Chain A
Amino acid sequence: MGYLSLTDRDREEMLAAIGVSSVDELFEQIPAAVRYAGPLDVEPELTEQEIVALFEQLAARNAHTGVELSFLGAGVYDHYVPAVVDAVLSRGEFLTAYTPYQPEMSQGALQAIFEYQTAICELTGMDVSNASGYDGCTVAADACYIAKFATGRTKIVLAETLNPMVRQVVKTYAPGFGLEVVEVPHTDGAIDPDRLATATQDAAAVIFQQPNFFGVLEDVPALAAAANEAGALPVAHVDPLSLGLLEAPGAYGCALAIGEGQAAGNFQSYGGPHYGFLASRTDFIRRLPGRIVGETLDAANERGYVLTLQTREQHIRREKATSNMTTNQTLLALAGLVYLSWLGPQGLREVGEVCTSLAAYAKSELRAAGFEEVFSDRATFKEFAIRVGRPAGEVVRAARELGVHPGYALGRDYASLDDALLVAVTEKRTPAEIDRLVDVLRQVAG
């Protein structure tokens, strides 16, 4: 019966100590009219063995990346997650702890978060990082809120090459924040810095993505410069696995760097839980949302870690807080730290290089097979768009019949790209698997 621990005798002794004759008496404070007569109309309880059998049946109805050769990305990626990540995350001291409100009980988690913040700052070239956000979408909304207070302006500029899901979340949050959202269209798969500069007058922030949603490398120094010129905060949405190879946002003048952490150390898990990261220059430390861990000393002058700058937070500042955030994604961020530590700087660069090389191989093989790149003049990272000669959604369905998920149908978000497929290549793919993709696409494309 679930996970209860009291014996009948325990219950009797406890009721006696309380001075009531039944548990029902304790519920008499609930007005009779709103008491639920029950019982709950749900299925009978299951034993552990039955739960495993049921969930195995459910899981078997999902075409996961172990049974289907997948080139699907568009924000979540099939990168390799090393065994040490599983090992660390299965430690009950991490897994089953609450938020580290009591630092003397929580030095392990606090130090790990401090190390995570350091890793994110190093990746992005920023000064400060919070302890994580919900995901790569909500951190963009967080960045807008920071920018509103930092600049006193109310316009947010989004690149059309920013992940459509990220843009949708920003638009959902914007009315409550008192912000208006403007989008800048792409020019042949990337943002034109001059067009951005025009849109950016009077803006609080500009959010662009590197590599962008099409996998294309944007001229980010020029985009950041256009924002800075207009007094708007440049915000780069970045893929953490690109940052061994590609320049850090801090180095090209960004005020904030944000992103989806999944690629670094989290499984795909049908979209979550993952972690969003948010880092900034020191200027904005008092406007950051959520938890931040800081170093301090204990009563014996030994180094230790605590949640800090809590006067930003909801439990202290209530309606004047910088955010309502409480629960974040610490365990997933811990996975990110373990993963990045496993790779090290050299390994991170190699992952980026291998993804880029494999993607370049896929592009050249597809080109040789007669497929046209959508943005053929643009440099790309691990993802790129090709034309498939008929609605890409149909091509996806036909390819899946042959055991290959060839990518994301861009027509779902960009009306003019109905025949375009976004192909993602991670270090888990091999040249032989890419050959199979080309073969299957040749069979099913228009």
Chain B
Amino acid sequence: MELIYEKSRPGRRAGRIPRPDLPAAVVPDALRRATPPRLPEISEPELVRHFTALADRNFGIDTGFYPLGSCTMKHNPRVNERVVNLPGFRDLHPLQEDEGAQGALDLMWRLEQYLVEMTGLPGISLQPAAGSQGELTGLMLMRAYFADRGEGEQRDTIITADTAHGTNPASVTMAGYKLEKVATDERGNLDLADLRAKVNERTAGLMLTNPSTLGLFDEGIEQVAEIFHDAGALLYYDGANLNAVVGKSRPGDMGFDIVHINLHKTFSQPHGGGGPGGGPIAVRETIEPFLPVPRVVREGDTFRLDRDQPKSIGRVRGFAGPFGVFVRSYAFMRAYGPSLTEMSEVAVLNANYLLARLRDAYELPYDRHCMHEFVLSARQLKREHGVSALDIAKRLMDFDIHPPTVYFPLVVPEALMIEPTETETKERLDNFVDVMLQIAGEAADSPELLHDAPHSRPVRRLDEVRAAKEQTVRHGFGA
């Protein structure tokens, strides 16, 4: 398909803005642009057709089943889009005086109360823009907390699990900490012996996803918390998998001191092909003084943004956070109310149902009930038929199913990480099972069908090595 730049014709245009009858703009010659940017020159009808054609070549949760593990691709309610576009939210300037933004501040304060209730931790900052920024913020909080206690120099190491999302170790480096990794035992829990050997007076904290990226709740979480707290260290909860445990188990009760919540996963902010997201953090009282500014404060019936927090780490993004994400997530929470608990129950039920029906056709590395997601391995299919997890992923596309997450977590070879979420019907789940079983059969009977997949998408399998080598990352305008 042509790029919008290839459809461009000199002199064509879509939009026009009003031109008031005023003298022409004066700009110093030395600062005036010499050569105009080659933006598209396109009429409005063709502009709409271009982006409609691109939408047709994209697949969202609206299009079909999207069991992408660790990404919680649930239905995005349309009422949330309606309310986020109310002019009182959409056209509100972030530097509006607090008196002129009472509805927005009230909404943020209410959202905070819901997050307090679900995490079991009292202090909230809504500011981080995404889960990974929540992680980095959490580590900055650890640094500030230990510096305040005179242990800033001493505690220089963060421990992560070998099943951790790549963001955890990457955040550790960005926060200026050293990294130590801890192993997973044969049941998929943190290896307590390995942990005891590695936690010491240099440890600042642990970063953990629970349930883990294997979709398993850590059965030793109480002992894990004890090991860290006894050593004077803190526990950070990566909330990527919170959808498994809302109203069932709260990170604060598990012993975590700092938590981030992915509003674009558990609370249904549409992910927009890569973003936006929201990564608010919840913390214990002892960490609260260090939270980013500004904070939402309630005084009687009025609300204000408080920037005067002397121990705060400062700001991690502009303004008070991704407000539109807050509107959608709060609307989502209100649609469930106390049955947010049932949301997690059904997410876990759906995942276990798929696990039960697929476990004979694919290898199951950890033989336990799962939480909201589970990991299968295609190792046996690879050994016997030369078919990889990637081949299976590409073949699923031919059935209008988005592939699961593949090759993650790293501790499982040929991993297929499957997360159905709570919003699917049994018919969709059954169809996925049927297709996965058919593909397992094809792997034995006609492996080339899988090697050559996909067969029905707008493009065939793409050469990622070539892209990395050529490094064509912008249109060249025929140059």
* Residues on the A chain within 8 Å of B176, using CB: 175-178
Q: When the two chains form their complex, are residues A45 and B334 in contact, meaning their CB atoms are under 8 A apart?
A: yes
Q: Are A332 and B60 in contact (CB under 8 A)?
A: no
Which residue of B15, B63, B133, B371 contacts A92 across the interface (Cβ within 8 Å)? B63
Residue among B48, B79, B275 making CB contact with A331, cutoff 8 Å? B275
B52 sits at the interface (CB 8 A): yes
Residues 71-94 of A contacting B (Cβ, < 8 Å): 72, 74-76, 78, 80, 82, 84, 86-88, 90-94
Q: Does A272 contact B (CB under 8 A)?
A: yes
Contacting A271 at CB < 8 Å: which of B84, B94, B425?
A: B94
| Min C-beta distance of B409 to chain A, whole Å | 11
Using known A-B contacts A45-B336, A272-B318, A272-B323, determine if residue A246 contacts B31 with beta carbons closer than 8 Å. yes
Shortest A156–chain B CB gap in Å is: 15
Known A-B contacts A3-B75, A319-B170; A104 and B461 likewise in contact (beta carbons under 8 Å): yes
A327 contacts B271, CB within 8 Å? yes
Chain A residues touching B, range: 35 or more
Whether the Cβ atoms of A51 and B25 lie closer than 8 Å is no
A13 proximal to B (CB < 8 A): yes
Name the distance in Å between B388's Cβ and chain A's nearest Cβ.
14
Complex contact B314–A36 (CB within 8 A): no
| Secondary structure call for the B interface | loop
- Whether B261 sits at the interface, judged by CB under 8 Å, is no
CB of B248 closer than 8 Å to a CB of A? yes
Query: Min CB distance, A59 to chain B, in Å?
Result: 3
**Closest CB of chain B to A172's CB: distance in Å?**
4
Say which residue of A115, A271, A348 sits within 8 Å of B320 (CB atoms): A271
Smallest CB gap from A304: residue in B? B459
Q: Is the CB of B474 within 8 A of A332?
A: no
Contact indicator A52/B271 (Cβ below 8 Å): no
- Is B200 an interface residue when CB atoms closer than 8 A count as contact? no
Set of chain B residues within 8 Å of A138, measured between Cβ atoms = 129, 133, 316-317
Shortest C-beta distance, B369 to chain A (Å), equals 5
Q: Which residue of B lies closest to A90 (CB)?
A: B81
In the complex, the chain B residue whose C-beta lies closest to that of A133 is: B129
Convert B337-375 into 0s and 1s, putting 1 for each residue whose CB lies closer than 8 angstroms to a CB of A: 111111101101110110111000000000011010000
Q: A347 at interface (Cβ–Cβ under 8 A)?
A: yes
- Quick check: is B92 within 8 A (CB to CB) of the other chain? yes
Q: Across the interface, which residues of B come within 8 angstroms of A272, CB to CB? A: 94, 129, 276, 317-319, 321-325
State the CA gap A82–B13 with chains docked (Å).
14
CA distance A88 to B76 in the complex (A): 17
CA distance A174 to B454 in the complex (A): 45
The answer to whether B39 touches A334, judged by C-beta atoms less than 8 angstroms apart, is no
Instruction: Kindly identify, within residues 208 to 255 of chain A, every residue whose CB is under 8 Å from any CB belonging to chain B.
Output: 217, 219-221, 243-248, 251
Q: Which of B167, B249, B341 contacts A40 (CB 8 A)?
A: B341
Give chain B residues whose Cβ lies under 8 Å from the Cβ of A330. 272-275
A46 to B35 alpha-carbon distance, docked (Å): 55
Of A51, A97, A379, the contact of B58 (CB 8 Å cutoff): A97
Contact partners of B48 in chain A: CB under 8 A: 84, 87-88
Give Cα A317–Cα B179 distance, bound, in whole angstroms.
13
Instruction: Kindly state the separation between the CA atoms of A405 and B96 in the bound complex, as whole angstroms.
Output: 8
Against A, the Cβ 8 Å flags (1 = close, 0 = not) of B442-477 are: 000000000010100111111110111011111100
Known contacts A178-B176, A221-B30, A269-B89, A97 near B471 by CB under 8 Å: no
The answer to whether A379 and B272 have CB atoms under 8 Å apart is no
Q: What are the residues of chain A within 8 A of B253 when measuring CB–CB? A: 34, 36
Interface residue? A127 (CB, 8 A): yes
Kindly list chain A residues whose C-beta atoms are within 8 Å of the C-beta of B60. 92-97
Q: How large is the interface on B (under 10, 10 to 19, 20 to 34, 35 or more residues)?
A: 35 or more
* Contact across chains for B393 and A17 when beta carbons are under 8 A apart: no
Decide if A3 touches B423 in the complex (CB within 8 Å). yes
Asked if A342 is at the interface of the complex by the 8 Å CB criterion, the answer is yes
- Judge if B145 is at the interface, Cβ distance under 8 Å: no
- Say yes or no for A444: interface residue by CB 8 A criterion: no
Closest residue of chain A to B137, judged by CB? A172
Q: Could you tell me the distance between the alpha carbons of A274 and B324 in the complex, rounded to whole angstroms?
A: 9
In angstroms, Cα B173 to Cα A20, docked, is: 44
Are A39 and B338 also in contact (CB < 8 A) when A3-B423, A14-B349 are? yes
Known contacts A13-B426, A42-B117, A353-B25; is-contact A96 B76 (Cβ 8 Å): yes
Bound form: Cα–Cα A316–B3 in Å: 30
Closest chain-B Cβ to A387's Cβ sits at a distance in Å of: 20
Query: Closest approach, in angstroms, between the C-beta of A344 and any C-beta of chain B?
Result: 5
CB of B460, distance to nearest CB on chain A (Å): 4
CA distance A112 to B222 in the complex (A): 47
Contact (Cβ within 8 A) A171 B104: no
Of residues 145 through 198 on chain A, the ones whose CB sits less than 8 Å from some CB of chain B are 145, 165-166, 168-169, 171-173, 175-178
> Would B171 and A324 count as touching, CB distance under 8 A?
yes
On chain A, the residues within 8 Å of B459 by CB distance are: 103-104, 107, 298, 302, 304
Contacts of A42 in B (CB 8 A): 114, 117, 333, 337-338, 340
**Is B20 in the interface zone, CB < 8 Å from A?**
yes
Nearest chain A CB to B459's CB is how many angstroms away?
4
State which residues 94-112 of B face A: CB under 8 Å: 94-97, 99-104, 106-107
Pairwise interchain contact B61-A96, C-beta atoms closer than 8 A: yes
Interface flag for B77 (CB, 8 Å): yes
Which residues of chain B (5-40) have a CB below 8 Å from chain A? 5, 12-20, 22-28, 30-40
The answer to whether B22 touches A31, judged by C-beta atoms less than 8 angstroms apart, is no
In the complex, the chain A residue whose C-beta lies closest to that of B352 is: A18
A329 to B277 alpha-carbon distance, docked (Å): 8
B389 close to A (CB within 8 Å) = no
Given A115-B475, A342-B44, A343-B14, 15 further pairs, Cβ under 8 A: A4-B346, A34-B254, A56-B83, A75-B318, A78-B91, A118-B474, A172-B316, A273-B129, A291-B274, A308-B464, A315-B408, A320-B173, A324-B132, A346-B36, A427-B17
- 7 smallest CB-CB distances across A and B, nearest first, come from A331-B272, A59-B88, A271-B319, A92-B62, A271-B94, A108-B58, A61-B103
Q: List 8 A-B contacts (CB under 8 A).
A: A6-B425, A10-B425, A76-B319, A97-B60, A168-B315, A270-B92, A319-B169, A327-B275
